[in-house]
Amino acid sequence: MSNVTAQRQETGQVSRVDRFVGAIREHWFSYLLFLPTLLYLVFLLWIPFFRGVWMSFHEWSSGGANPTWVGAGNYVYLLNWDPFYQSLQATLGFGIATFPARVGRRCRLPRREPR
């Protein structure tokens, strides 16, 4: 045991690292149960998301090898492309048109039974 650790134990001060290690030792089974969720988030959500963002800043050939860095050029092209605005208008129109039906279905009051 180091001199600093011995002094902290005598004075009652505990470092963040010591508290963290103590929490892991005390709740190891909880962390083990959380591991599948963490693996799911990392491998099926976070990695594909950040890889997609990285790929959007490149121009890819049909073979997929040797991508060329274009920076925000793909986004500039998208914002200057007329079919993008047509599809955005259709998507927003559909969302606005169907929103009252979706909310109304969720907020429906229970039916009264006839007397």
Q: Which of 5-9, 29-33, 107-111 has the highest mean pLDDT?
A: 29-33
CA neighbor of 88 nearest in space, from 79, 101, 75, 98: 79
pLDDT in tens, 79-114: 999 999 999 999 999 999 998 887 777 776 666 777
CB count, 10 Å around CB of 114?
4
5-22 burial string, b = 16+ CB within 10 Å, else e? eeeeeeeeeeeeeeeeee
State pLDDT tens for residues 36-94. 999 999 999 999 999 999 999 999 887 778 889 999 999 999 999 999 999 999 999 99
Whether the predicted pLDDT of 25 surpasses 60 = yes
24 contact partners, CB below 8 Å, separation of at least 6: 31
Cα 48 from Cα 51, distance rounded (Å): 5
